[in-house]
Amino acid sequence: MVPAIEIRGADKHYGSLHALKAVDLTVDSGDFFALLGPNGAGKTTLINLLSGLSRPDGGILKVMGHDVVRDYRQARRSLGVVPQELVFDPFFTVRETLEIQSGYFGLRKNDEWIDDLLHNLQLSDKAEANMRALSGGMKRRVLIAQALVHRPPVIVLDEPTAGVDVALRQSLWKFIQRLNREGHTILLTTHYLEEAETLCRRVAILRQGQIVADDTTENLLQSSTSGKLEDVFVALMQDEGELAEP
């Protein structure tokens, strides 16, 4: 089976900063995968390379077998990204935002799925509201709906629960778990390690642009005496004397 995400030797510099150092990573189709690391480790850079927001200096990155540079159209159709920043277009309503995003991906009649997304993300009563009128949590949910609007097989969530209250976070994870059960591959970055521990079958940890751990959650937990992912994470960071900031 084609891996959902395949990364070989991904390299990226920003000026003198070597942000990613020949990263290799494979995410199997249907997996629920956590990509962890302290601030500045390279998680968002890796996601930007996968989604085409940045260009790699070296290496090959594929989404569902499609090269993100040479076959960018298919690669982008296969990927839904929830960006870390709370961004929105103030000119449009929630429904218009989702219809426009659908259209970018070539979908004309997508109302049923848009209604389903609005319902599952508890946004149905805000469908005709302007994006400016929404709270931060609601904007975050619209971002998630935008990433899912073209039903991508691979979904990347870059810290999706930052600033989201507990009740909403729980309903959000239920929805994401449902998508995963339906066959979507999930790649998650988060600073809430208990979320990764509970939800993800596999975990990779980035430190200073390099993968320092890549294993099943179970194996990583077994490697720690406390059986907590947080301790595994802290130990890996302290190995190199780096100040851990989960």
Partner 1 sequence: MHGFRTLFFKEVLRFWKVSFQTVLAPLVSTLLYLLVFAQVMADHAEIYPGVSYAAFLIPGLVMMSMLQNAFANSSSSLVQSKVTGNIVFVLLAPLSPGEFYGAYVLASMVRGVLVGLVVFLAAWAFVEIPVREPLWAVVFGLLATVLSGTLGVLAGIWAEKFDQMAVWQNFVILPLTFLSGAFYTLHSLPSFWAGLSRFNPFFYAIDGFRYGFLGSGDVSPWQSLSIVGGTCFALSWTTLALLRKGWRLRT
Q: Which of the ranges 75-83, 115-123, 195-203, 238-246 carries the binding residues for partner 1, by CB under 8 A? A: 75-83
Please name the residue ranges forming H helices in 149-188: 166-181
14 binds partner 1, rule: CB under 8 A: yes
Binding to partner 1 by CB under 8 A, coded x per residue (else -) over 95-134, reads -x---xxxxxxxxx--------------------------
Residue 43 CA, distance from chain mean position: 10
Q: Does 83 bind partner 1 (CB under 8 A)?
A: yes
Rg for the chain, CA atoms, rounded = 18
DSSP 12-39: EEETTEEEEEEEEEEE-TT-EEEEE--T
Q: Applying CB under 8 A, which of residues 4, 23, 63, 76 lies at the interface with partner 1?
A: 76
In the complex, minimum distance from the CB of residue 16 to partner 1, in angstroms, rounded to a whole number: 15
Nearer to partner 1, 71 or 230 (CB): 71
* 18: its two tokens: 């070597």
- 34: nearest Cα among 223, 239, 193: 193
Q: Give the residues across from 6 on adjacent strands.
A: 26, 62
Candidate ranges 20-28, 93-101, 184-192, 204-212; the one touching partner 1 (CB under 8 A): 93-101
Q: What residues have CB less than 8 Å from 109, skipping those under 6 apart?
A: none
Q: Which two tokens stand for residue 234?
A: 């802290």
Among 23, 63, 81, 193, the residue binding partner 1 under the rule CB under 8 A is: 81
Give the residues across from 154 on adjacent strands: 79, 185
Q: Which is nearer to partner 1, 143 or 229 (CB)?
A: 143
Angle (nearest 5°) at CA 155 between 152 and 161? 140
- Coil vs helix vs strand at 233: helix
Establish if 13 lies at the interface with partner 1 (CB under 8 A). no
Report the nearest approach of partner 1 to the CB of residue 227 (Å).
38
- Helices 94-104 and 111-120: crossing angle in degrees, nearest 10, is 130
- Select from 81-89, 172-180, 213-221, 233-241 the region that touches partner 1 (CB under 8 A): 81-89
161 near partner 1, judged by CB under 8 A: no
Least distance from partner 1 to the Cβ atom of residue 8, Å = 20
Asked if residue 94 lies in contact with residue 127, where contact means CB atoms within 8 angstroms, the answer is: yes
Q: Is residue 217 within the footprint of partner 1 (CB under 8 A)?
A: no
| Closer CB to partner 1, 63 or 196, in the complex | 63
Q: Could you say whether residue 72 binds partner 1 (CB under 8 A)?
A: yes
> Which positions lie near partner 1, rule CB under 8 A?
14, 48, 51-55, 72-74, 76-77, 79, 81, 83, 85, 87-92, 96, 100-108, 146
